[in-house]
């Protein structure tokens, strides 16, 4: 081998080993810088993609009416979700007052965001939304829709964010089955991302009485997702030698999803009441 090629090969190996041993913080920092640089192009590409999609639909819908419909739909979805959450708080309030132990809930605030790009990566189930660090969006924040949980924020740039969808294998959610004491971990299934993606609910009790159609909600444990967000309904349950596993149909229709809500808590907006 030529000396120059040998030196190049050794340098390449050394550099690759160095990159492979980088820590999580450094990697996130690199990704943040990368997305900051590429953010205008992501938005440009997303605009082009949206324009192309709207052009195809032009024959069926007037553009103006479509915009108005989108705005109205966003308002309606936001209102529906807030009402649903208020009802939940109302019930919770009644229960807590009944037990004479009042504990104030975390303020539940959401920011509406538009999905500007679908499936930016080959393998991961992700979408890009039009909110970023400039809108106080940070990583790991839960993303919701009027129907239920959508996923969580994975990476951010100044103007855009990547949302890891619930249908991805690496998005795990602590979940409970309504009407039962069963609690497990919900995640997507590798390869099941076609017309009807299903989710897998693991670590359930062996021989648990779980019926198809039962509702699955978030437990609020684990520090990532708030409690009581709808995840889906049980499709089937299978009891194994050590634990049970259920297939769950997601509550959210990910194919038609256009508007999502990023949940964030801002303690400054709603002063916290002292616990009694």
Partner 1 sequence: MVQQYLPAIPSLYGARVLILPLVFLCSAVSVNFATMLVLAFICGFLWDAQHLLGEHGGDPDVYTHPVDSLRFGYSIILYAVMGLLMQSIQPLFKKGVWHISSLLAGLCIFLYLFAEYLIINFVRGDFTFPSVTFYRIYLTGAVTMLCSPIIFWIIFQLATYCRYTIEYHGLKKHPKYTNTCD
For the window 55-94, what string marks contact with partner 1 as x by the rule CB under 8 A?
----------------------------------------
Q: Does 24 bind partner 1 (CB under 8 A)?
A: yes
CA dist list (Å): 83 to 49, 141, 211: 33, 21, 29
Backbone angles phi, psi at 23, to 5 degrees: -80, 165
| Torsion (CA) 138, 154, 167, 261 in degrees, nearest 10 | 20
**Applying CB under 8 A, which part among 82-90, 100-108, 143-151, 215-223 lies near partner 1?**
215-223
Q: Does 28 bind partner 1 (CB under 8 A)?
A: yes
From the list 89, 246, 96, the residue with the least C-alpha distance to 177 is 246
Q: Could you tell me the smallest distance in angstroms from the CB atom of residue 189 to partner 1?
A: 8
Q: For 106-172, where are the E strands, in sequence order?
A: 109-118, 126-129, 142-144, 149-156, 161-165
Q: Could you tell me the smallest distance in angstroms from the CB atom of residue 194 to partner 1?
A: 6
Residues 30, 71, 72, 76: which binds partner 1 (CB under 8 A)?
30
For the window 106-145, what string marks contact with partner 1 as x by the rule CB under 8 A?
-----------xxxxxxxx--------------xx-----
Residues 88, 114, 192, 264: which binds partner 1 (CB under 8 A)?
192
Structure tokens at 81: 């979700």
For the window 225-264, what string marks contact with partner 1 as x by the rule CB under 8 A?
----------------------------------------
- Alpha-carbon gap, residue 135 to 155, rounded angstroms: 14
Q: Could you tell me the smallest distance in angstroms from the CB atom of residue 67 to partner 1?
A: 21
For the chain, what is the radius of gyration of the CA atoms? Answer: 22
Question: Which residues, including other chains, have CB under 8 Å from residue 113's CB and lie 6 or more apart?
Answer: 129, 130, 131, 143, 161, 259, 260, 261, 262
* Range 63-72, long-range pairs (CB < 8 A, 24+ positions): 70/114, 70/258, 70/259
Site residues (vs partner 1, CB under 8 A): 1-5, 7-9, 11-12, 15-16, 19-20, 22, 24, 27-28, 30-31, 34-35, 38, 41-42, 44-46, 48-49, 117-124, 139-140, 154-155, 164, 169-172, 174, 185, 187, 190-194, 221-224
């Amino acid at each position: 081998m030529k000396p120059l090629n040998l030196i190049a090969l050794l340098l390449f190996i050394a550099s690759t080993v160095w990159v492979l041993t980088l820590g999580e913080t450094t990697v996130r920092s690199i990704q943040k810088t990368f997305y900051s640089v590429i953010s205008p192009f992501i938005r440009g590409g997303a605009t082009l993609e949206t324009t192309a999609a709207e052009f195809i639909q032009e024959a069926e819908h007037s553009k103006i009416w479509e915009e108005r419909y989108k705005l109205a739909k966003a308002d309606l979805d936001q209102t529906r979700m807030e009402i649903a959450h208020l009802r939940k708080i109302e019930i919770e309030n009644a229960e807590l007052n009944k037990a004479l132990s009042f504990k104030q809930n975390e303020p539940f605030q959401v920011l509406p965001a538009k999905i500007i790009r679908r499936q930016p990566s080959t393998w991961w189930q992700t979408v890009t939304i039009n909110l970023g660090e400039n809108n106080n969006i940070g990583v790991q924040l839960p993303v919701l829709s009027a129907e239920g949980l959508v996923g969580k924020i994975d990476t951010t740039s100044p103007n855009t964010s990547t949302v890891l969808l619930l249908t991805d294998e690496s998005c795990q959610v602590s979940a409970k089955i309504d009407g039962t004491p069963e609690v497990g971990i919900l995640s997507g299934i590798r390869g099941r991302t076609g017309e009807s993606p299903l989710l897998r609910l693991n670590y359930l009790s062996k021989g648990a009485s779980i019926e198809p159609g039962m509702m699955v909600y978030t437990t609020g444990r684990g520090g990532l997702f708030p409690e009581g967000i709808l995840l889906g309904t049980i499709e089937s349950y299978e009891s194994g030698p050590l634990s049970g596993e259920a297939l769950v149909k997601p509550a959210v229709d990910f194919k038609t999803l256009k508007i999502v809500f990023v949940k964030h808590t801002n303690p400054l907006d709603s002063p916290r009441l002292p616990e009694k």
